[in-house]
Structures are given as C-alpha cells and as structure tokens.
Amino acid sequence: MQRLGVLLVMLLLAWQGYAQQAPQYTQYIFNELIINPAYAGSKEILNVNATHRSQWVGMEGAPTTQTFSLDGATRSGRIGFGLNAMNDELGAQRQLGLHGNLAVRLQMSETARLGLGFAAGLAQYTLDGTKLNTGNSRPDLAVPQNRVSELLPDFRIGAFFNTERFYTGLSVANLINTKGDELEVTTPNRHFFLSAGYVLDLSPSIIFKPSFLIKEDFNSPTGLDLNTFFLLGERIWLGGSYRTAVQVHNKYSDEYELDRRNAWAAIAQLYLTPKLRLGYSYDVSLNALKQHPSHEVSIGYSFFKKEDARMLTPRYF
C-alpha cells in the first residue's frame, strides 16, 4: 500500500503539468465566496461557512480540503467584506491560503445589484520530500529529500450580478501567476470561473434552481459543472451535479482524455433553523476511480438583526 501511495503521488505530481490545479469543491453552489471575491456581502447579512472534503476515499495520498469563510456587508449594503482560509493536501503536497475580500455593491435597479470584488492574501505551497521516499538505496535527485515551502502573494478579482431570481459571476484566481524560486514546489496556474443560475417557482412550496459553472486555465480541458436543485418548503435543498470536461481549445496534451473528468454528485442542504444549515455531498467519478467516492460536509450560520426579520428564509444565491 505504501508503494501504491508513492506511485499515486508521483503520477499526480507529473499530471499537474497540464491539469487544472484549483482545489475541487462541490458545495460552492451555496457559497460562491470561495471562487469569487465579488460575492462578498451579496446576502447583506453576516455569514459563516466551513467545509471539509475527502476526495477519492480509500486511496492513499488522495486530496483532502478544508475551508472557512466569513462575509457580510456594511449597513448600507454598498460595501461587502469577507475572509477566506483554505487548507488543501494532495499526497506530499500542501497548500495553505488566507485571503481578505472587499466588494463594492452597485445598485442597478430596485432588485438588481452588481458587485465588483478584489481579494488579496498569502498562499504557502509545501512539498514534503520525506513522504516520497521510495526505499531505494540511491535517492532520486529529482525528488527533494526534505520539506520545501514557498510563501507567495495571491490576488483575485471578480464581478457578481444578481437579482431576486438570477445571478451570474465571473472571477479570476491566481491573478499574478507567481512562480516560486524552489522548482520542486508547484504553484497553480491562473484560473477563470464563470457561473450563472436562475430560480423559478414550481409550486407554492417547491422552487427549482438550475445553474452551471465553467472552470478554465487554458492549459487543460475546460471544466463544466451542470447543477439542478429543488428547494422544498424553504427548508431542504435537494439536487445533483454533473461534472465533465469539454474541448474549447487545444492548449493541452493530446494524451488527456476528456472522459477522465466525468463525475456526478448528489447534494443536500438542510436548514435546521432559519440561521443554521448543514450540507452533504456524495461524488462518484465515472472513470477508473469510481470505486473511490468523495464526501463533502459543510455547516453554515447566518447572523440576523431584528430589522432582518424579512430575510429569515433561505437566500437562493
């Protein structure tokens, strides 16, 4: 098992040369702050969210990710603010990130607002060479023998437009695309995210919400998430997501098979109270990793003031 884990890590390290490197999330649908700084303050109340993801459970060296986020808005609603913290581990690699978010919310009409956001922070990239020891008497000079790290600045920008029924967002992560001095440490490429969704009433107690997310780094196939959700009685979100890759450009290796990205996810979120919500998602890859599902759990809490009584129902975006 140890040799299998080492082999997996080495394959993943080699695969990064053309693979998208942003951490994978499924429940971003309920908290787009983790992919778009302009989302900060869009709900006009203070929100706290925490998520844990275990990907490809049962496989040694598989990714695990934890995130914590907080966002809110000033009393006027014109300025949104937020904080993101993230820990992402993949075999011998680890990424720690901390970002502050600021968004200007422009009133476009009675029900429409446009947010323009910016995030600045630090990201630490670490490669632990001691976890890549293959047991050979002669060390591989291409593999670091110790733990190497780089602490680098990181910036993101975004725009987020929403009405009471529709939203769309565009953001760019790893804006300056900084490369570390240590060649052993791999830093992510610049990533672009485009999302949109809409809600409509199917009945007095059922709301339907389709949405999509496009992920692009121009070094690998374009990622596409197609999502469908139902809100039942203002208490329970039930739905699913289909994740795939599409050929929009040819700036990646011909050896990359599009169907390697295919996966589906079942997702549920329950409002235990108007303020407290719990979420869970179950992902299955539709490829050789189908025997290793992924699990993601989340918890969120909203802080309302007395004047926010009219908001004590789930916000759709």
Q: For 41-97, write each residue's pLDDT tens digit.
A: 998 889 999 999 999 898 888 899 999 999 999 988 899 999 999 999 988 888 999
Rounded to two decimals, the pTM is 0.85
Which carries the bigger pLDDT value, residue 188 or residue 95? 95
pLDDT at 159 over 90: yes
pLDDT at 135 over 80: no
pLDDT in tens, 212-270: 999 998 877 888 999 999 999 989 999 999 999 887 766 665 555 555 568 999 999 99
The pLDDT score that the predictor gives to residue 175 is 86
Buried-state track 278-290, b at ≥16 Cβ within 10 A, e below 16:
ebebebbbeeebe
pLDDT at 280 over 70: yes
Pairwise CA distance, residues 98 & 34, whole Å? 11
Q: What are phi and psi of 29, to 5 degrees?
A: -55, -30
The pLDDT score that the predictor gives to residue 20 is 41
